[in-house]
Structure 1
């Protein structure tokens, strides 16, 4: 196995989260001793409980990852690791870039400039949907790449507006590419794979779990030069995406809303905290 294949193999092992892989990579950047390290050395090195360590070692020595990769290729699913030259430059700059990305579709979208993340509530108001369309259409026509999370609501609508206009969109999943979630967006996810790009940090056969979505949000922020929050409640996953964008030094844009609408509490607060108020595509274009 070469270094890239070893990293993908490691990425499939249970118990090997981002930090675990970071510890292994810092001790052994070439992963040359991955299969020769003994139990005692692993126990010393890894900050995980023994039951997780046992699962990790079981997978490490029994998984057939090369066979898995062949199966993925048969389904047109490809892998990009942090070792690859084509790994997206912007994403590499974040504090915790994904070690491996699994993708299906047009990889060239990862190298494009003018990438805008769009996030918002799963239950948008008619005002939010109308504003989204008004602001997004001119940007799509000007070849902005629209990045979102394939979730219900604002995410799905952002992808649909872009696809209808023949524009470019990247969908970032929480779970694996073979476990599309939510099921109601299965057709949309297929269209994104065929006409744009669908990516995930999670191995393709792994189902989405709640803790994966904040991780997905950091990828949306990491790939984007700016993030546009359309509607968000006071405590919302969209605000996690905005927070990550700020931490990565990206622009944050927010749609102002009715002060009595719960869907606008989060975005109005973002504007108060210094996000750029957006009422037309021009405010976004100016920053880019």
Structure 2
């Protein structure tokens, strides 16, 4: 196996945390001894050594990796030139991204994350309709999470206006969640781009979603929140963007609407209030 396949194999091992992989790469940057006996002794201090070793010896995992490539599933590691520089600069970026679609979107000059409530209201949808034509005209690539509500509307509207869009999913390509967005996701896998840090067979777990949000924010130059309740997952994405020093934008809403509490509070905390697309474009310099 080449270095890339070895790294993918290592990330698929149970118990191989980000920190353990980092330690292994410091010891053996080319993973040349990954399958050697003396490497086993190097692993021994780790509590999860037994499960890592078991999976390193798994022929099934090796065959799966080869099948991914045969099924046109792109694999982009942090060491590949296609890996987005913005994401590489974040805290503990994914070692591996699985991709289906147009990888050139990873090098787009300006990517804007657009996220919001899963229960999109007419106001939220109209806000997207108002802002997107100008954003698409200026070639902003729309990044979102292929979730119900605002996320799905963002992807669909970008496509409808002839723009480009990237979907970041929790779980693997074989288990799109929610199911109602499977058709949208499959279309994006053909003509746009869908990414996941989880292998195709992985079912989405609850903890995958906040981890997915860190990639949405990390891959983007700025993040726009359109409708968010007080404890919305969209606010997690905004927090990640803030921590990485990225621009955060929010569409203000009616003070009596529960779907505007999160966005209005973001504005109080310093997010840029968005009324027109120009408010975003002038910050992203596009």
> 8 Å contact 2:76–2:98 — kept in the other structure?
yes
1:100-153 deviations in Å (ceiling 9; x for gaps) = 011010000000111100111101221111112211222112211000000001
1:238-285 deviations in Å (ceiling 9; x for gaps) = 111111111111100001111111111111111011000001101001
* Other structure's SS at 2:44 match: helix
1:176-208 deviations in Å (ceiling 9; x for gaps) = 112211111100101111110011000111111
Q: Distance in 2 between matches of 1:179 and 1:141?
A: 33
Listed as ranges, the matches of 1:237-256 within 5 Å are: 237-256=233-252
Aligned length: 283
Q: Distance in 1 between matches of 2:175 and 2:247?
A: 32
* Other structure's SS at 2:113 match: strand
Residue 56 of structure 2 is aligned to residue 89 of structure 1? no
Q: Which residue of 1 is the match for residue 44 of structure 2?
A: 43
* Other structure's SS at 1:160 match: helix
The TM-score with structure 1 as length reference comes to 0.94
What stretches of structure 2 of length at least 5 have no aligned partner?
none
* Other structure's SS at 1:29 match: coil
Residue 145 of structure 2 is aligned to residue 149 of structure 1? yes
Runs of 4+ in structure 1 deviating by more than 3 angstroms, as ranges, are 37-41, 63-66
Pairwise CA distance, 1:65: 4.2
Q: Which residue of 2 is the match for residue 200 of structure 1?
A: 196
> 8 Å contact 1:8–1:65 — kept in the other structure?
no
Residue 95 of structure 2 is aligned to residue 99 of structure 1? yes
* Other structure's SS at 1:279 match: coil
Listed as ranges, the matches of 1:121-270 within 5 Å are: 121-270=117-266
Moved more, 267-276 or 11-20: 11-20
Q: Distance in 1 between matches of 2:76 and 2:108?
A: 16
Residue 111 of structure 2 is aligned to residue 115 of structure 1? yes
* Other structure's SS at 1:229 match: strand
Pairwise CA distance, 1:66: 4.3
> 8 Å contact 1:254–1:277 — kept in the other structure?
yes
Q: Distance in 1 between matches of 2:33 and 2:243?
A: 35
Q: Which residue of 2 is the match for residue 15 of structure 1?
A: 15
Q: Distance in 1 between matches of 2:166 and 2:228?
A: 21
Q: Which residue of 2 is the match for residue 276 of structure 1?
A: 272
Pairwise CA distance, 1:64: 4.1
> 8 Å contact 1:163–1:195 — kept in the other structure?
no
Moved more, 248-257 or 61-70: 61-70
Q: Distance in 1 between matches of 2:30 and 2:67?
A: 26
